[in-house]
């Protein structure tokens, strides 16, 4: 398995995943599959995004990816049912053999898909979510939150809080809910964790963020060594995103009120796992967030995966590093249970060096 030596070393250092580290864990090795994926994205997705930024007008095409993704298979035996939250749809998904709270499993994951708050949804991410459910042995509430250009990011956060409340209504305890997401969903994972704390709903078990966007401001990314190395995003795309997000806030009269994860209070946040590719432009956000968490005394495991692309975990069907990363996610999430029994003693110290359910059901057969 790629990066085996590094991963074994990390598990035996300072309490393994649930320890505070000032430095990132670098997971070495890039398979032929992952390198081919990176090359493909650099010559397809990146040029398209660059072209989008150069248009003299705003263009937000229909979410075709989400519709096409209905055809994608998921883990064999995966089941899901639709959950209607107050202002958006979602689905409660379980991998084969994974029970929910009614079957005696008290732990659950609240998940937010990526897509720059502009695209993707439940269909595009069902396959990834099913793998995370399998690796962690926990069901997942996958939230289809409202997005731009119709709603600002603040409304996406509100939908995430509704998802957390729904889980509490089902009987889950706050400390048994891990909040996770990829890309823009990583922004939501941290923001929703902050929001439920501020609203007195309890402290989640932990946060998992995959290639997270954590700062709408592109300034730090502009100065980073990866500003022009990312296989997926040109810098101009991040700058365009910043402009769109700020205009949405202004239109709704909330400009300046939204606080990005890198700027929010962190002292009472739960432990976090952040996974990022070594050449991603969003590494700037991940590094800064990890440093701030350590300074706040919050345990964080920042994993930097050698030459992996943005949200490489979604390619787990043929990229070995993606499968290894999802295994790491499963181990981290499962390990959070030890906090309550006292197994998470290393979590208490840190260095400062750095809606109602509808009866519709789906079952995967492939």
Closest CA to 335 of 275, 267, 271, 268: 271
Among residues 66, 91, 175, 280, which one is catalytic?
280
What is the three-class DSSP state of 144? strand
| Residues 208 and 272: beta-carbon distance below 8 Å | yes
Which residues on neighbouring strands pair with residue 304, listed in sequence order? 26, 276
Residue 75 designated active-site: no
28 noted as active-site residue: no
**CATH code (residue 19):** 3.40.50.1820
Rounded CA separation 166/17 (Å): 29
Q: Is 43 a catalytic residue?
A: no
The dihedrals phi and psi of 235, each to the nearest 5 degrees, come to -55, -35
Query: Which candidate in 91, 130, 310, 328 is catalytic?
Result: 310
Give the count of domains, the chain. Answer: 1
Per-residue pLDDT of the chain (366 residues; tens, 9 = 90+): 444 434 434 333 333 444 444 578 999 999 999 999 999 999 999 999 999 889 877 777 667 777 777 777 777 889 999 999 999 999 999 999 999 999 999 999 999 999 999 999 998 999 999 999 999 999 999 999 999 989 999 999 999 999 999 999 999 999 999 999 999 999 999 999 999 999 999 999 999 999 999 999 999 999 999 999 999 999 999 999 999 999 999 988 887 788 999 999 999 999 999 999 999 999 999 999 999 999 999 999 999 999 999 999 999 999 999 999 999 999 999 999 866 554 444 443 343 333 333 333 343 432
Maximum Cα–Cα distance across the chain: 58
**Using CA atoms, how far apart are residues 26 and 29, in angstroms rounded to an integer?**
10
Question: Distance between CA 188 and CA 29 in Å, rounded?
Answer: 30
- What's the CA angle centered on 236, arms 310 and 313, to 5 degrees? 5
Domain span at residue 216 reads 4-363
Rounded Cα–Cα distance for residues 222 and 46 (Å): 17
Query: Catalytic: which of 183, 191, 224, 321?
Result: 183
What are the C-alpha distances in Å from 69 to residues 26, 90, 221, 264?
32, 16, 30, 34
Q: What is the pairing mode between strands 206-210 and 272-277?
A: parallel
């Amino acid at each position: 398995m790629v990066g085996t030596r590094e991963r074994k070393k990390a598990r035996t250092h300072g309490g393994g995943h649930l320890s505070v580290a000032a430095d990132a864990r670098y997971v070495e090795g890039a398979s032929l599959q992952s390198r081919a994926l990176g090359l493909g994205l650099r010559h397809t997705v990146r040029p398209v995004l660059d072209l989008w930024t150069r248009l003299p007008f705003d263009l937000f095409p229909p979410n075709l990816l989400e519709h096409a993704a209905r055809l994608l298979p998921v883990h064999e035996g995966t089941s899901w049912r639709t959950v209607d939250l107050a202002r958006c749809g979602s689905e409660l998904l379980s991998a084969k053999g994974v029970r929910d709270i009614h079957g005696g499993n008290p732990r659950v994951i609240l998940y937010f898909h990526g897509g720059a708050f502009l695209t993707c949804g439940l269909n595009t991410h069902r396959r990834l979510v099913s793998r995370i459910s399998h690796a962690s042995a926990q069901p997942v509430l996958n939230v289809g939150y409202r997005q731009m250009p119709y709603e600002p990011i603040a409304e996406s956060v509100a939908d995430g809080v509704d998802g957390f409340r729904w889980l509490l209504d089902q009987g889950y305890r706050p400390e048994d809910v891990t909040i996770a997401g990829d890309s823009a969903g990583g922004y939501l994972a941290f923001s929703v964790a902050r929001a439920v704390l501020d609203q007195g709903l309890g402290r989640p078990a932990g946060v998992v963020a995959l290639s997270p966007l954590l700062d709408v401001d592109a300034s730090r990314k502009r100065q980073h060594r990866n500003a022009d190395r990312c296989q997926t995003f040109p810098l101009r795309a991040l700058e365009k995103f910043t402009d769109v997000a700020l205009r949405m806030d202004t239109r709704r009269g909330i400009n300046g009120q939204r606080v990005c994860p890198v700027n929010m209070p962190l002292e009472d946040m739960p432990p976090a796992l952040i996974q990022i590719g070594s050449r991603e432009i969003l590494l700037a956000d991940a590094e800064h967030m990890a440093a701030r968490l350590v300074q706040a005394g919050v345990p964080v495991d920042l994993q930097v995966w050698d030459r992996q692309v943005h949200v490489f975990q979604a390619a787990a069907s043929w990229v070995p590093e993606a499968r290894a990363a999802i295994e790491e996610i499963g181990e981290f999430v499962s390990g959070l249970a030890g906090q309550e029994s006292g197994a998470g003693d290393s979590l208490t110290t840190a260095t400062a060096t750095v809606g109602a359910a509808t009866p519709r059901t789906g079952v995967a057969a492939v």
